[in-house]
């Protein structure tokens, strides 16, 4: 396959790869996960609560939420697992947004993958979960360990409402209402922003990169946008991979078939089209653009010290081209310049080559922070 380039691919192989695998994955999801696996089976939920949390984020996370004062490492004798050159430890901390989340999400869990034996850490990557990534395994194997072998530490976050932090009544990652979906988004990026500060204290004189695949990358970009200036000035990069700029991707791309439209229609006596428009409007109000607008006093959009490498699939059917381009545009506004990496193929074919295509983008983000061109 051709090397990644600075421009979208126009080759038919790329188109075919994107079209075939993304459509197939969409179909399989629909077939394998029946009616019980839908987003928003309980409707809209308590949107006022979600707005209260968003209002606090807008005030600035430095004043609105506590920092991570205490990272609780799992029992040391069992907690440290050497995998050759790499050490793996689990830890937890109190979520800064715990007052707004379900009981199960009040504690946040991370796995820290680092070069073993006290070797020098060249930089720290915070990996935010993509839709449905409930545990540590995928990100540890495909990104954490390869990066640790190059000298980078990784912090892998279990998202709120995911894995160990999932409410008992929730099936897999299908959050039960729209409000919880939005609360989990705000909580994810607030925790990520707080983790940046924590990482800077834990590994002084290294840089930190916020990254994530798909939805995780959107969250990484949101986290970067709410960083306090003093934290961003310490050298922070954002490297979203096949991401969009908003939670709206859920209605724009292939995930649209996984929403419980019937319930949403009934709750508001909407037609299907009205329900679609209403949900799209709620989600669009939460995209990166709006977040940047709320958290930065208009003139000072540009966050000093922030670098960006954005990786996009040329023929993505989950994150449609306009959403991918919208992310790039917002990142340009936020970082001044961004480095674009365009891959051949689509969403699924890119994630299948995760190590090969995303590790270089993360490595590049550190080079930019080191002042290399
Ligand atoms: C970390 O947590 C995971 C999932 O809870 C568990 O499977 C694993 O054994 C733990 N690893 C360590 C090093 O404690």
How far apart are the CA of 340 and the centre of ligand 1, in A?
35
Q: Are 292 and 199 in contact (CB under 8 A)?
A: no
The residues, ordered by sequence, that sit 6+ positions from 15 with a Cβ below 8 Å of its Cβ are 314, 315
DSSP 141: I
Instruction: Say if ligand 1 is within 6 A of residue 110 CB.
Output: no
What is d(CA 214, CA 195) in angstroms, rounded to the nearest whole number?
20
Cα 4 from chain centroid (whole Å): 22
How far apart are the CA of 77 and the centre of ligand 1, in A?
13
Read off the tokens for 241.
Answer: 């991979």
pLDDT of residue 253: 60
Write the burial class of residue 34 (CB in 10 Å: 0-12 exposed, 13-18 middle, 19+ buried). exposed
- Any domain includes 6: no
- Any domain includes 33: yes
- Any domain includes 146: yes
- Any domain includes 321: yes
Handedness of CA 316, 321, 327, 328 (dihedral sign): positive
What is d(CA 78, CA 364) in angstroms, rounded to the nearest whole number?
35
How far apart are the CA of 90 and the centre of ligand 1, in A?
6
Nearest residue (by CA) to ligand 1, atom 1, is 90
CA nearest neighbour of 331 among 185, 181, 191, 224: 224
Counting atoms of ligand 1 from 1, which one is nearest the CA of 164? 5
pLDDT of residue 14: 83
Read off the tokens for 61.
Answer: 């996370």
Counting atoms of ligand 1 from 1, which one is nearest the CA of 90? 1
How far apart are the CA of 135 and the centre of ligand 1, in A?
10
pLDDT of residue 29: 76
Q: What pTM was estimated for this model as a whole?
A: 0.92
How far apart are the CA of 155 and the centre of ligand 1, in A?
14
pLDDT of residue 300: 53
β partners of residue 154:
113, 125
Read off the tokens for 211.
Answer: 């990254």
pLDDT of residue 298: 47
Q: Are 239 and 361 in contact (CB under 8 A)?
A: yes
- What SS3 state is found at 196? helix
What is d(CA 180, CA 170) in angstroms, rounded to the nearest whole number?
11
Counting atoms of ligand 1 from 1, which one is nearest the CA of 111? 1
Instruction: Say if ligand 1 is within 6 A of residue 81 CB.
Output: yes
Helix, strand, coil shares of the chain, percent, nearest 5, are 50, 15, 35
Task: List per-residue pLDDT tens for the chain, 373 residues long.
Answer: 556 788 888 888 888 887 778 888 878 877 776 667 889 999 999 999 999 999 999 899 999 999 999 999 986 655 456 667 899 999 999 999 999 999 999 999 999 999 988 789 999 999 999 988 999 999 999 999 999 999 999 999 999 999 999 999 898 889 999 999 999 999 999 999 999 999 999 999 899 999 999 989 999 999 999 999 899 999 999 999 998 876 666 666 656 778 899 999 999 999 999 999 999 889 888 877 777 777 765 445 677 789 999 999 998 888 888 888 989 998 998 898 899 999 998 998 999 999 999 999 999 999 999 987 7
Read off the tokens for 299.
Answer: 């003139």
What b/e readout covers 321-345, taking b as 16+ CB neighbours within 10 angstroms?
A: eebbebbbebbebbbeebbbbbbbb
pLDDT of residue 83: 64
- Any domain includes 5: no
Split into its structural domains, the chain has a count of: 1
Cα 316 to Cα 92, 213, 242, 325: the distances in Å are 35, 13, 8, 12
| Contacts of range 50-54, beta carbons closer than 8 Å, 24 or more positions apart | 50/100, 50/179, 50/182, 50/183, 50/186, 52/100, 53/97, 53/100, 53/183, 53/186, 53/187, 54/182, 54/186, 54/286
Nearest residue (by CA) to ligand 1, atom 2, is 90
**Domain of 172, in residue numbers:** 12-368
Read off the tokens for 21.
Answer: 């695998």
How far apart are the CA of 125 and the centre of ligand 1, in A?
19
State the CATH number of the domain containing residue 276. Answer: 3.40.50.1820
pLDDT of residue 372: 77
Instruction: Say if ligand 1 is within 6 A of residue 92 CB.
Output: no
- Any domain includes 4: no
Nearest residue (by CA) to ligand 1, atom 8, is 90
How far apart are the CA of 111 and the centre of ligand 1, in A?
8
- Any domain includes 250: yes
- Any domain includes 91: yes
């Amino acid at each position: 396959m051709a090397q990644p380039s600075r421009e979208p691919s126009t080759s038919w192989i790329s188109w075919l790869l994107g079209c075939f695998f993304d459509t197939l994955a969409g179909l399989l999801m629909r077939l394998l996960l029946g009616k019980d696996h839908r987003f928003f089976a309980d409707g809209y939920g308590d949107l006022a609560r979600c707005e209260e949390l968003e209002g606090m984020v807008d005030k600035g996370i430095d004043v609105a939420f506590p920092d991570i004062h205490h990272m609780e490492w799992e029992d040391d004798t069992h907690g440290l697992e050497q995998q050759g050159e790499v050490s793996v430890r689990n830890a937890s901390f109190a979520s800064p947004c715990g007052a707004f989340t379900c009981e199960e999400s009040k504690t946040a869990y991370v796995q820290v993958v680092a070069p073993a034996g006290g070797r020098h850490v060249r930089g720290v990557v915070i990996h935010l979960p993509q839709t449905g990534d409930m545990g540590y395994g995928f990100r540890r194997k495909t990104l954490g360990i390869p990066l640790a072998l190059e000298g980078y530490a990784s912090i892998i976050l279990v998202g709120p409402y995911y894995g160990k932090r999932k409410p008992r009544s929730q099936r897999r990652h299908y959050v039960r209402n729209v409000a919880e979906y939005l609360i989990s988004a705000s909580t994810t990026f607030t925790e990520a922003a707080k983790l940046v500060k924590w990482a800077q204290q834990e590994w002084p004189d290294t840089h930190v990169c916020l990254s994530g695949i798909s939805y995780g990358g959107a969250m990484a970009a949101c986290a970067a946008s709410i960083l306090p200036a003093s934290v961003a000035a310490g050298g922070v990069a954002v490297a979203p991979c096949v991401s969009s700029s908003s939670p709206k991707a859920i209605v724009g791309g292939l995930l649209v078939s996984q929403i419980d439209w019937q319930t949403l229609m009934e709750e508001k006596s909407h037609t299907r089209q009205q329900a679609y428009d209403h949900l799209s409007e709620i989600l669009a109000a939460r995209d990166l653009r709006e977040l940047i607008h709320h958290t930065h006093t208009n003139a000072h959009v540009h966050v000093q010290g922030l670098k960006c490498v954005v990786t996009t699939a040329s023929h993505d059917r989950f994150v449609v081209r306009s959403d991918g381009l919208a992310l790039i545009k917002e990142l340009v506004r936020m970082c001044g310049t961004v480095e674009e990496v365009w891959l051949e193929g689509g969403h699924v074919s890119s994630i299948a080559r995760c190590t090969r295509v995303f590790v270089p983008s993360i490595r590049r983000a550190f080079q930019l922070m080191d002042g290399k061109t």
